Structure 1
Amino acid sequence: MTLVVWAGGRLREPDEALIAAGDHGLTVGDGVFETLEVVDGRAFALSRHLRRLTYSATRIGLEPVDVELVREGVGAVLAEADGLSRVRITVTSGSGPMSSARGAGPQSIVITATDAPALTECRAVRVPWRRNERSPLAGVKSTSYAENVVMMEFARSRGADEALMANTHGHLCEGTASNVLVERDHEILTPPLAAGCLAGITRGLALEWGADAGIPIRVAAVGELGMDVLDRALEGEAHLAVTSSTRRVQPLASLDGTDLRPGAMLTRLAAVFAVRAEHDADPAPRRSK
């Protein structure tokens, strides 16, 4: 696998040591990140991802991220090799004490790019844990990702590659690395941000581009989507898809080991997304929903 690395303002060797032993991103997960798809050599929806990176950093109290420096780094890694498919931007608070107290920085910024293969299908399971919508990290793309790792390992132990969870109220929330779309009763719904889910870039574009194409799609009201909607999908009365930068709009192939049929509207939405993405590599940001 190809791995291109940029840090400290320049390209680095893939196996070069970059992070100090006391970096707070390493010791306590004190950082934020973004993962982007690469389309024809360009980082897809870079402006939207940088806006969310800035938001996440602000939410956890980091100093403002040097967005232009990050853009420079993204350009450098993508210019280094052909066939790259994915970019990750990681920003941590930098070196700090061996405690939860944050140090004075400066920030660590590391950008990597790989040629990892596309995720061609999604097989999901429900997990017994819940997302805390009241957490200070709710809606933040944080490097404190151990919760998601545990849930993903639970899914993998059951032959799946994604885990779907509720929030503390028992409402459908999100996947470990994806948002969820539900096709039922002649419309497509997605859980609201108040449920505790991340404001996914692909989720937002799916809402916008789907509405532009005349597809009935909207954000559900708080509490409108319970976890029982997953049972409806197993019974064929609803259909499911996940959205993420590495999956785009991807109907679920199975849930809890049961194969699922793709919904007609979700299939159309996936096609609309693919066409729009081909013609607009950096769609201008709009207000989050």
Structure 2
Amino acid sequence: MSVVWLNGRLLPAAEARIDPADRGFTLGDGLFETLRVAGGAARHLDRHLARLADGAALLGLPFPHGAAALAAAAEALIAAQGQGDGFADGVLRITLTRGTGARGVLPPPDAVPTLLMALAPAPPPAGPVEAVIARTTRRNEHSPLSRVKSLNYLDSILARQEAATRGAGEALLLNSAGRLAESSVANLFIVRDGRLLTPPVAEGALPGIRRALILERGDAGEAPLSVADLLGAEEAFLTNSLGLRPLLRVDGRAIGAGTVGAVTAALLTDIEAE
């Protein structure tokens, strides 16, 4: 039986109810985090909760329960689900909305947030990917929303739909200046002249958790990247909290030798060993 944690308690997923007037549903007024669960534990949960709290502060959205209580709730949910479907390895999603409100854009002054945690089975391993540069939409690096995981994911949906119609598995988003920001669901890294680089947050890149972990290793840096930089790179890959995918071709052109490079392979090994 599938179990969720909703507003302070565990209950069967079939019994969980979100109010139809919830602003997360009507306006996309909220945030989410997606975490890898491995060996029965949510990986980097503290970092995800910190990013969620930062995003809530940016939106002026109440952040209920506190990080320690939410960590305990995640642990309880994983343990409860393990007694049923057994998601020792899977995906944990945390969704935070502003809660219910009357019609209109302005949030209510006394908002009572909705917080939902749900588990899903681990997806199959994601292998190398080919991408296209999205033409239908761009990443707005000037918007504060480029720095949070908002419930409004329509730009990413449009970009991924475009990729599918063009025969690719992923889309790369340019910012308003025509430089690379990220993919529809992941951060972008390239290896150029032996150096590992990723677009800065100021260029529209989401401050990803795995992105931060790679930067903290000290062997990667941030730099504005053009499409020419990517096409001239020796290697490229995409990262998010669920893993790393080698990026082999973009718009039909091979990146480097068109195979998984040494830097990418080493990082894949490190992630698998987490």
TM-score by length of 1: 0.84
**What SS does the aligned partner of 1:252 have?**
strand
Partner in structure 2 of residue 191 of structure 1: 199
Structure possessing the higher relative contact order (Cα contacts under 8 Å, 6 or more residues apart): 1
Name the aligned partner's letter for residue 228 of structure 2. Answer: D
Q: 1:265 — aligned with what?
A: 263
Farther-moved stretch of structure 1 (95-104 vs 23-32):
95-104
Mean CA deviation greater in 33-42 or 115-124? 115-124
Structure 1 gap ranges (5+)? 278-289
Q: Structure 1 14/159 Cα, relative in aligned 2: closer, same or farther at 3 Å?
A: farther
SS in 2 for 1:15: helix
Q: In the alignment, residue 98 of structure 1 is paired with which amino acid?
A: R
Structure-2 residue corresponding to 1:88:
93
Q: d(CA) in 2 for partners of 1:37 and 1:3? A: 18
Q: Distance in 2 between matches of 1:258 and 1:196?
A: 24
Inter-CA distance 156–65: structure 2 relative to 1 (3 Å threshold) = farther
Contact 2:131–2:168, Cα closer than 8 Å, also in 1? yes
Are 1:156 and 2:164 an aligned pair?
yes
Q: How far off its partner does 1:97 sit?
A: 1.8
Q: After TM superposition, which residue ranges in structure 1, 4 or more long, deviate above 6 angstroms? A: none
What's the CA shift for 1:118?
A: 3.4
Q: Does 1:123 align with 2:130?
A: yes
Q: Partner of 1:249 in structure 2? A: 244
1:274 equivalent in alignment to 2:265: no
Residue aligning to 1:229: 229
Per-residue Cα deviation, 1:235-274 (whole angstroms, up to 9, x for no partner)? xx4321000011x232114333456312222222222333
Distance (whole Å) between structure 1 residues aligned to residue 142 and residue 48 of structure 2: 23
Describe the shift of the 1:101–1:35 C-alpha distance in structure 2 as closer, same or farther (beyond 3 A): same
3-state SS, counterpart of residue 49 of structure 2? helix
Query: Distance in 2 between the 1:197 and 1:3 partners?
Result: 34
Q: Does 1:71 align with 2:67?
A: no
Alignment length (residue pairs): 262
Backbone CA RMSD of aligned residues: 1.8
**CA contact under 8 A between 1:3 and 1:115: conserved in structure 2?**
no
Match of 1:110 in 2: 116
C-alpha distance in 1 between matches for 2:186 and 2:64: 24
Q: Once the two structures are superposed, what CA deviation does each residue of 1:123-156 show, in whole Å capped at 9, x if it has no partner?
A: 3221012101111312111111122111121122
Judge conservation of contact 1:182–1:239 (CA < 8 Å) in 2. Answer: yes
1:161 deviates by 2.9
Contact 2:138 2:155 in 1 (8 A): no
- C-alpha displacement at 1:14, in angstroms? 2.2
CA contact (8 A) 1:32 1:53 kept: yes
**Aligned match of 1:145:** 153
CA distance in 1 between counterparts of 2:56 and 2:103 reads 21
* Contact 2:141 2:176 survives alignment (8 Å): yes
Q: Calculate percent identity across the aligned residue pairs.
A: 35
Structure 1 distance, partners of 2:222, 2:64, is: 30
1:218 to 218, 221, 230: 221
Task: Answer whether contact 2:24 2:30 (CA < 8 A) is retained.
Answer: yes
Please list every run of 5 or more consecutive structure 2 residues that lacks an aligned counterpart in the other structure. none
The more displaced of 150-159 and 176-185 is 150-159
Normalising by structure 2, report the TM-score. Answer: 0.89
- 78-87 vs 24-33, greater mean Cα deviation: 78-87
Could you tell me which residue of structure 2 aligns to residue 239 of structure 1? 235
Q: Is the 8 A contact 2:132 2:163 kept in 1?
A: yes
Give the Cα–Cα distance (whole angstroms) in 2 for the partners of residues 254 and 73 of structure 1: 41
Corresponding letter in the other structure for 2:167: G
